[in-house]
Amino acid sequence: MRSLLPEKYHYYIYVFALIVLVIGMPVSKFLMSLSQIILVCNWLLEGNLKDKFNKFFKNKPAIVLSSLLLLHFIGLLYTTDFSYALKDIRVKVPLFVLPLVISTSRVLSKKIFHIILQFFVAAVVFGTIVSTFILTGIIHREVVDIRTISIFISHIRFALLICIAIFICGYFIYNELKMSRKYLWAVILAWLVIFLILMESVTGLSVLTATLFILLIYIIIKLKNKVVKWGSIAVIFIGIISLFYAIRLKMTEFSRKETIDFSKLDTYTSQGNLYEHNLKEKYTENGHYIWIYYCGKELEQSWNLRSRINFNNQDMKGNKIQVTLVRYLASKGLRKDADALNTLTDSEIKAVERGVVNVKYPNVSSLNGRLYEICWELELYKTSGDANGHSITQRFEYWKAAIGIINTHTLLGVGTGDVQYTFDNYYEKNNSPLLKKWRLRSHNQYLSIAVAFGIIGLLWFLITLFYPVIKQKMVFDYLYITFFIVTIISFFTEDTLETQAGVTFYAFFNSFFLFTRENNRVEE
């Protein structure tokens, strides 16, 4: 079948669809879907399908990359929940479509390749600006959790896209000839890093740091000047020691406790009500014990006079308001009674309503506050096993469940559609401490694949990851290898390929960096 349109028009439509796709990834799920529909329709209407499929089947990296979708079809053979399985396969369609279309379409000129990258960075920057306007109140939207400022896609997926955009900025800084443009890209890069900090994206900053570290090690190994090489190694070594020292200081600060003679605690408040002193709970805020000098009766009466949220209800983050309030008062070194509560300002009352638990971190955006919360989560989990509502420690429970499932479904897994059901069943049978609303999947892509398709499926997945890199010799391609490192690191803490945004991100950049440039095309 031949097209009714001249070939150049199909090429223009192809480039247009790619631009729409990279714009859609950070700011619009609709554009993500629409662009892929345009890509497929244009690809079909262009004709020469026999030649295209011949080209596709000769391209081993494209075949291997797209075979991940085939794994999900094989998983249908032993699944029980076909409704969920078909929904999952629908989400994963880009894993096949994008490698097929991009690997069999015309190569892009360097100029067009750069333009598409620039549109992507521009869309990411636009997303960060909108999020910043929400954070600062320019766009009126109540912000309870900093993660909600990412309104277009998940904050974690957005953080990964920001990481890719940062490395693309680095690419342009290196390749641009005009200094003015180098400075512009440097400013954009700096802003994106600052935004990751504003968004308190521990995942994004961790992935960015780890990727930079790996790149630095590679660059140092390639250095021929021994003085520069060993000097660089020394700098990195000092940097690592400094980082661990900073972490140790933070942990020491967190674990520091006030000295109290528990045998001499006051019994009554100034209003004559009885204090409760829970000496079994040793949790602290800023070194002050939380569950001593607690008078629930006074707190409830005084709180309800000042707040729109009832004392027995939840704060805006979904935690018990009384616990948030008690932690906040303790962080100030105050007792938990009416006198202490009445010293709080109206802005502090609103902060507690938003779920702020420590006086040091009253603002919505505080990376330092987020690090403190992580320390708190780890300490709480260590002493009580409670991970509910805490993103870091909940993952420990998810991973524990995933490993338990893999141990009983080792070779082939549970099938494409039975993953969530199997997790739910595991949590029930093992009396998981997680509440039902927190009982999610593994939050680890490697474990997710192993749960669904067993060890055999995991090995297949790893081949689809590493074979294209080796076959195409992409280890030395800056753009591809930074994307690759960001991706494989993100897989350890996220189910990146379980959402439309994550699948599109992975399938597009893999195909775009592998197949759109002349020097990366596989010889036929």
Could you tell me the pLDDT band of residue 484, with boundaries at 50, 70 and 90?
very high
Average pLDDT over residues 426-441: 90
Identify the pLDDT of residue 424: 92
Average pLDDT over residues 266-291: 88
Could you tell me the pLDDT band of residue 446, with boundaries at 50, 70 and 90?
very high
Identify the pLDDT of residue 158: 93
pLDDT, tens digit (0-9, with 9 covering 90-100), for 10-50: 999 999 999 999 999 999 999 999 999 999 999 999 888 88
Identify the pLDDT of residue 254: 67
* Mean pLDDT taken over the chain: 88
Identify the pLDDT of residue 261: 84
- Contact partners, residue 435, CB within 8 Å, separation at least 6: 388
pTM equals 0.86
Amino acid at position 299, single letter: L
DSSP 520: G
Identify the pLDDT of residue 113: 96
Could you tell me the pLDDT band of residue 224, with boundaries at 50, 70 and 90?
confident
Identify the pLDDT of residue 365: 57
Dig out the tokens for 255 from the structure: 């674990």
CB neighbours of residue 66 within 10 Å: 23
126 vs 483: CA distance, rounded Å? 21
Q: Which ranges constitute the DSSP H helices of 201-270?
A: 202-222, 226-255
Could you tell me the pLDDT band of residue 523, with boundaries at 50, 70 and 90?
very low
pLDDT, tens digit (0-9, with 9 covering 90-100), for 360-383: 775 655 667 777 778 778 877 887
Comparing 188-197, 234-243, 315-324, 471-480, which segment has the lowest mean pLDDT?
234-243
455 vs 413: CA distance, rounded Å? 8
Give percent of the chain with pLDDT exceeding 70.
95
Domain residue ranges in the chain = 7-226+436-520, 262-364
